[in-house]
Every structure is written in C-alpha cells, then in structure tokens.
Chain A
Amino acid sequence: MSRRLPVYILLDTSGSMRGEPIQALKVGLQSLVSTLRQDPHALESVHLSIITFDAQARVVCPLESLESFQMPSIECPQSGPTMTGAALELLCQCVDRDVKKTSGDHKGDWRPIAFLMTDGSPNDTALYERMTTEVKKRPFASVIACAAGAKAKVEPLKKMTSQLFNLETMDSHSFAGLFQWVSSTVSTGNRSMGVSSSIVLPPPPPEIQVVV
C-alpha cells in the first residue's frame, strides 16, 4: 500500500451554524472532495476524516481513502456550547491511532494535515488550553485554523496554530473559496521536507484574510 496523506477536517456544528452556514459548509466540503478527486496524487494518497463538534465532539467519518470516501450527513443542534477542546482531544486520539510511523517493514504515512473551522470560541476553555499543547506534540505537517463569521474569536485559535485565517462571511461563495484553497494546500502536502518544517501554504483567495 502506498503512503497515505491523512487529512483531518474539524468542523464547528454548534447551533450558530444552523441554517444557511451549515448548508454552505456542506457544499464547500463536497466541492473540496470533488476537486481533490481530480488530483491524481491526492486520489492515490489522501485519506480524509471528518470530526464535528458542538456540545460534543464526534468522528462522523473515520479516516478513509479519498477513493472510497462518502460524504457523511452533518447535522446541527438547535443550540448549545462549542466544545473545541473536546474536538482537539479527539483529533489527537485519532492521529495517535491512525497515522503510521516508519518502521523496518514499512514506510510511514505523510505527516497529517488538520484543518479546523469554527464560527465561535471554545466553551471548554481548560481542556482547550491543554489540548493546544497536545496538538503541537503531534507530527502535523500543518494545522490550519479558520475563524468564520463575525462572532468567531481569533485569540484562542492563535494558541493552537500560527496558520490562522479569517472568513468574514459564511455564504456558499466564501466556503467554496475556502475549501478550494484547502484542497490546494492538501495537494502540496505530499512532498519532501525537513523533519520539522511545515508546509508552505499557497496564497489564500481574497475572501480569506490572513490573521497576523
């Protein structure tokens, strides 16, 4: 089996995403998958997993090859907290379990990529704080966070990654642009790099602002 490029997508499905935002998000996600399916390198190496988080975090799609990946149904509760910390905890567990390291008998997977989209701020702050340091201990090639919409808080995300972006609106167009960009990021993931360096991200489209 060839080496896999694990890609974890963490999506905020808290109540505030209900309605048009979640619909737009799903369309964006679908277009991400379709775009990647047109990339031969991605089609042979990318494995996708989707984790959603609202009052709880769950793996709605365990790590699955792009070839056999099927879009899970993504639902939003009426209201409730945003357990971003629980999502990161789940992410770390998944990475520890899924991502293969080099051993004598086989070559390791490509370093995983995680992408987190939230339209709010973590409600489980203590766990979140702890998990941001845990995430840094994992072998990610890149952790990209996107704060979407006016209510998204950028400060907590800064603790998790420096690859931080802002999406002002949460309509189909913005999400489409965002996911197109994520797909081009994923496409650059499977190539040689130093032991500790992270991926140089392609320039984001105009609707995504880089947070510095």
Chain B
Amino acid sequence: MILRQEGRKIKDSVKFVRELISALEDRHKKKEPHGCIQIGKLKGWISEDGEFDNTLFNHDAIEKDRIPPDTYTLDVVGLYELSVCQITGKEPAADTPFSAALYKTSIWPSAFLEKLEEFSNASSEKHKDFEVNHFLVAIAEVPTEQAPAAINSEPVASASKHTERNDQDQKPQKIEPPKEVPKLKISVQLKNGTVGKPYEYEAGKIAEAIAVKCGGVSGQAFIQNVELPAGCGIVFDEKTGAISGSPTFAFEKEIDLQFFRDKAAEALPAKIKILINPDPASLWKDLPTPADAPYQKKNTDHKVLDAGDIQVMAASRRGRSHANKGDFRDDDFNIGYCNDTGWVIVTVADGAGSAKYSRKGSQLATETAQSRLLNVLSDANNSIDKLIEQNKTYDNPEVRAAVRGLLYDAALAAHYKLVDEAKCPSEKLPPEVTLRNFDTTLILLILKKIPQGTLLATFSIGDGGAGAMVSEEEGLPLTQQDSGEHAGQTVFLTFPSTLRQEEQNLTQRFHMVCLPSFVGAVAMTDGITDPKFPSDASYSEPSQWGIFWKDLQSGLASSEKLLEWMNFFSPGNHDDRTLVAIVPKNAPTPAHEHR
C-alpha cells in the first residue's frame, strides 16, 4: 500500500523532471543560459524503467560539492523563471507573485510550488538565502496534501512519521500489515466565523457531527486534544467539548483532534475544518486617487456659510468603497446666500459610481444650478419675492408655479451644462466621451424666511433626500426618492426623461412647504439616507427624522465635526456621503448645551 503511495509521488516528480529537461534542452539548443543545471544529470535521475532514482538524485542534488551551494546566483533566478514558465505557461511577471495555491491540485509537487512562491515573495535581500538545491530538494518532497486513498489502510501509529519532511533518503520500507485499527479519515467542516463576532459550538456538537460521519451516534462520543491556533481567540474546553470565544484573526485551517466513540473506545484521529473570515471593517484600504486622472477632486470638502440668522453647514467625504479602490469622491455640494433677499440656496449631487466622470458631473451640476438660482434670487426685484408680496402668501398656485419653474430651469441648465461638457470636455479626455459618463443625481433646496414662517422648496432627481424638522422630535421628507426595485437603481440628471415637462414628472420632483417655526433642514446624498433611513417607509416616518436629527447634533458643532460625524460605520453602506444642514443660528441644540 505504502509502495503505491510512493509510486505516485515518484511519478509526479518524474513528470516534472521530464518537463524540466525538455525545457532546459530547449534553452540549450537556443544557446540560452541555463546555469549549472546539467541536463545529463537530470536525465540520470530517471531510471530506465521510468522511475525516479533516489540514489542518483540524492547524490546530485544533495551533495553540496556537486552543485556549488552558491547562494543567489543567476541559476536560482533562472531555475525559478523556468519553472514558473513551465507551470503557468507564461513568463513570470515581476508584479504578479507566483501563487502556489492556484496550482495545488496540479501534478507539481506542492513543496516545490511553495518554494517557488516563497522565492517570488522574497525581497531581493532575502533572495540571497536561496540555493538551487532548495528547489531541487522540494521536487522530491512528498506532496503531503495529495496523499492518495492508501492512507486509509495506513496504521494510525505511523501517521506522525508520515508528516515528517526531508525523508527522501529513506528507502521505501516495508510496513507491517496493519493491526486491528479501524480505518478512519474523518473530516468535519464547522460553520464559518468572523473576527470579532462571537463563535460558539455547544458541548458535544462537534463529537456528534463526527460520530454521524462515522455512521453511528451513541450520544457518548467526545473529542480531545483540539489544537486551535494559539491566540486565535476561540478556545476548546477539554472538559465539556465546547468551542467558544471571539476570533482575533482570520484563518482557514484543518485541525487534528482525537475522537472517542465512547469512554471505553480507543482514540481515533479526526479533523475539523474551520474558516474564520476577516472583520470587513479591518479590510478597508485608503488608497490615493490617481494624480494623472482628469477632473481631480479632493477626498473631503466642508464649508460653513453665515446667512443672516441662519447657518448653513456642509460636508462631503469620499466613501470607504471609493477609498478602497482609489476612486474619486463622486459627491458634491454647493451652498449660497443672497444677502439682499435672504434666500439660502443648497445644491447636493451624487455622481453615479458606474459612470467614469460622474465626479465632474456632480460638481458641474451643483455649481451650475447654484449660480443660476443665485443669479435670479439675488435680484431684489426677482419674480418670486414679488409674487409672494403681491399675493400676501406663498400658498398660491401662481407662487408654486413660479418657484417650480425656477428650480426646474436651474436643473435644466445643469443638464445642458453636462451635455456641453460631454460634447466639448473642459479637460483632455480619452476619446468616446458620452453624456452618461457624467451621470449624477441632483437635489436643489431653497429656503427663505417670509412673514408666515420659513419657506422651503426642493427639486430632486435621483436618490438621496432632503427633509425639514417640524420640531426636535419630528420631521418630514421634502423629496420623493427615485429608487428602483433593486438597490443602486435610480435615475440621473443626464436622463432627458427626468426633465420631461409633464405634470406628473414635475409634481413628483417638486415640493414646497412653509414651517411656522424653523428647527432645521437637511439635504443629503444616499450615502447618508441609505443607512439612516433604511426603507421608504422610514423615510416618510416623522419620528425617524427625529431620531436622525438627534443623531446628527454632534455633527452640527462645526463643519469639521460634521465631516467627522459622517464617517460613521454601517455595514453595507460605504458610499460617498454629503450632507448640508441649515440651522437657526444660536439655536440651543443639545450639542451646544453640552459645551
């Protein structure tokens, strides 16, 4: 039985050596250097009957004087490159290290693959520790994971011997026929765990699972000597047989243990497989954005604006999912105040993650709509103020139509700005620029104190949202979110359909209210609405706005604090985040009271 196993090992190596020989011969013919590996010697390793000759191999590869133990010679690199070439079918690339795991089930001896990986990962300093011999010895290594079925009949007692390495100079030895030891090679996969989350297996559960696999549950089965990785955070309780704890690092391991059918039974070797996932929060990378890309944008932005007895506070930060890939922040905002008329103007936009230049789309959209609105509303004789004055109220179809028309025009101007940018980009872009490259949402919010209260009007295209607080405890949404059947589905300013002059379309996009007392208002992108208002129902729930408002208070101390606040962690929600808050100045918010 053992011989069969040995035979298999030898065959693998033979196949490898043969391939190596043919590759070397190829090099030799082309007069390319192949170092001090002598093809003739290699050929000699395979005996006439096609088997691997251990004696000759040991002589050549192990005897130091045959191949000089010169470290880090060109030969080492040469052999590495040659082997990787053979295994992967292409030249080893400097930037992609060789991965042993990918070829584990191939014919190549796993020890050899690991050696190649080690070499490819080693710094040039560490390369010096490598010798040609290291590779050659690895060729003859027993591929431990590939032990064939024969292991079933292998006496358990010799198992430990089998795992010892460097046993190639042992001649295949005759093993005594196995005594009456039951055949067993049981491996049970446990449920996966995650770093930082409690992991638990009740007493007896694992032993039971192994017993089931052995084909018999006695209820008496137990396990012992479960060697979990040191310091991994989960521990095995020898007394009860339970596993519990909170994993501290990620790993995937097969763990040996002893299984007993019952108290009187002999110990049987078995294995459990455990996979512990990394904590997703620990995996986020903060990669810089490419310096040579067009449309550069800062990863964060924040601003405060004094608007009479109102303060406008804005912050925007690149989402973790963008930082993780070195992508730009696609969100943008713009805030303005008309000194003469008292209008506050807020624009917020979220560039589509799927569009190449959406960061520019959101910037142009907020900028264009802002300047358009500022132009009109700064004028002391603007039509909106005139109409409100004439009618003595905001609550009038004429006023509504005028405000809606103004916001619509601003959105339309933003749309055409994007059309222009796509046609005639302001920066040098690779060819084939389309309007869809600039996909972005847009939320417009204007606010003014009028005799009846605080007038707020919005126009929105896409997701994200805006809302106003009616008290510290309750608020109301000021936009209707364009969300589709599935996550991430929305509409953009770049879609002509969103600006269709149909009553239904415009009604849905436009909202206007007047609040008798002003507590605060916000406009934000879906990076904030998604985690804070997890459903349409909660978005329209007044008390949910109250909860949100309370949560937001710590961020309202300054725009820096707002930027800090919006770095909150919420699983699955890692998009860019932008929020503009409009609050009465000196309002006794809880945050202020604390100071």
Interface class of chain B by DSSP: loop
Residue of B nearest to A24 (CB): B105
Asked whether B278 is an interface residue with its Cβ less than 8 Å from the other chain, the reply is yes
Asked whether B352 is an interface residue with its Cβ less than 8 Å from the other chain, the reply is yes
CB of B353 within 8 A of CB of A193, answer: yes
With A102-B536, A106-B535, A200-B354 already in contact, the answer to whether A70 and B192 are too (CB < 8 A) is yes
Can you give 19 A-B contacts (C-beta < 8 A)? A3-B487, A24-B106, A27-B101, A30-B101, A41-B321, A41-B574, A101-B486, A102-B486, A104-B535, A107-B487, A107-B535, A110-B486, A169-B89, A171-B106, A191-B352, A191-B353, A191-B354, A191-B488, A193-B354
**Which of B89, B189, B350 has a CB less than 8 Å from the CB of A192?**
B350
Asked whether A75 is an interface residue with its Cβ less than 8 Å from the other chain, the reply is no
- A101-129 contacts to B, CB under 8 A, are 101-111
Closest chain-A Cβ to B563's Cβ sits at a distance in Å of 22
Asked whether B360 is an interface residue with its Cβ less than 8 Å from the other chain, the reply is no
Instruction: Spot the interface stretch: B230-238, B280-288, B510-518.
Output: B280-288
CB of B354 within 8 A of CB of A45, answer: no
Q: Which of B88, B102, B275, B484 gathers most chain A CB within 10 Å?
A: B102
CB of B485 within 8 A of CB of A139, answer: yes
Q: Which of the four size classes fits the interface of chain B?
A: 35 or more
Asked whether A197 is an interface residue with its Cβ less than 8 Å from the other chain, the reply is yes
- B467-490 contacts to A, CB under 8 A, are 483-490
Asked whether B495 is an interface residue with its Cβ less than 8 Å from the other chain, the reply is yes
**Which of A103, A108, A195, A197 has a CB less than 8 Å from the CB of B487?**
A108
- B183-229 contacts to A, CB under 8 A, are 189, 191-192, 194
Instruction: Spot the interface stretch: A31-39, A76-84, A154-162.
Output: A31-39
Determine the chain B residues whose CB is within 8 A of the CB of A101 once the complex forms: 485-486
**Which of A41, A66, A104, A172 has a CB less than 8 Å from the CB of B536?**
A104
**Which of A41, A103, A173, A197 has a CB less than 8 Å from the CB of B354?**
A197
Residue of B nearest to A139 (CB): B486
Asked whether A26 is an interface residue with its Cβ less than 8 Å from the other chain, the reply is yes
Contact with A along B426-449 (1 / 0, CB 8 A): 000000000010010000000000
CB of B530 within 8 A of CB of A107, answer: yes
Cα–Cα distance between A2 and B569 once the two chains are bound (Å): 12
Cα–Cα distance between A188 and B356 once the two chains are bound (Å): 13
How many A-B residue pairs have C-beta atoms within 8 angstroms? Tell me.
153
Closest chain-A Cβ to B283's Cβ sits at a distance in Å of 4
Closest 7 CB pairs of A and B: A2-B572, A191-B353, A40-B283, A193-B354, A40-B280, A3-B487, A108-B486
Asked whether A194 is an interface residue with its Cβ less than 8 Å from the other chain, the reply is yes
With A44-B280, A45-B572 already in contact, the answer to whether A195 and B536 are too (CB < 8 A) is no
Asked whether B318 is an interface residue with its Cβ less than 8 Å from the other chain, the reply is no
Cα–Cα distance between A107 and B532 once the two chains are bound (Å): 12
Cα–Cα distance between A68 and B193 once the two chains are bound (Å): 7
Contact with A along B267-287 (1 / 0, CB 8 A): 000000001011011111000
Determine the chain B residues whose CB is within 8 A of the CB of A199 once the complex forms: 354
Asked whether B573 is an interface residue with its Cβ less than 8 Å from the other chain, the reply is yes
With A27-B103, A111-B487 given, name 15 new contacts (CB 8 A): A23-B105, A27-B101, A38-B283, A40-B281, A44-B572, A102-B484, A102-B487, A107-B483, A108-B485, A110-B488, A169-B89, A171-B106, A173-B90, A193-B488, A195-B484
Residue of A nearest to B189 (CB): A70
Determine the chain B residues whose CB is within 8 A of the CB of A192 once the complex forms: 350, 352-354, 463, 488, 490, 526, 575
Contact with B along A174-212 (1 / 0, CB 8 A): 001000000000001011111101011000000000000
**Which of B101, B106, B491 has a CB less than 8 Å from the CB of A194?**
B491
Cα–Cα distance between A110 and B489 once the two chains are bound (Å): 8
CB of B572 within 8 A of CB of A191, answer: no
Asked whether A43 is an interface residue with its Cβ less than 8 Å from the other chain, the reply is yes
Residue of A nearest to B325 (CB): A187
Q: Which of A3, A68, A69, A195 gathers most chain B CB within 10 Å?
A: A195
Cα–Cα distance between A120 and B442 once the two chains are bound (Å): 48
CB of B284 within 8 A of CB of A173, answer: no
With A44-B572, A67-B277, A199-B354 already in contact, the answer to whether A173 and B102 are too (CB < 8 A) is yes
Asked whether B400 is an interface residue with its Cβ less than 8 Å from the other chain, the reply is no
With A105-B535, A197-B354 already in contact, the answer to whether A37 and B277 are too (CB < 8 A) is yes
Asked whether B121 is an interface residue with its Cβ less than 8 Å from the other chain, the reply is no
Determine the chain A residues whose CB is within 8 A of the CB of B282 once the complex forms: 40
Asked whether B571 is an interface residue with its Cβ less than 8 Å from the other chain, the reply is yes
Cα–Cα distance between A101 and B483 once the two chains are bound (Å): 11
Asked whether B320 is an interface residue with its Cβ less than 8 Å from the other chain, the reply is yes
Cα–Cα distance between A104 and B284 once the two chains are bound (Å): 31
Determine the chain A residues whose CB is within 8 A of the CB of B350 once the complex forms: 192
Cα–Cα distance between A108 and B483 once the two chains are bound (Å): 9
With A2-B573, A39-B283, A43-B280 already in contact, the answer to whether A194 and B489 are too (CB < 8 A) is yes
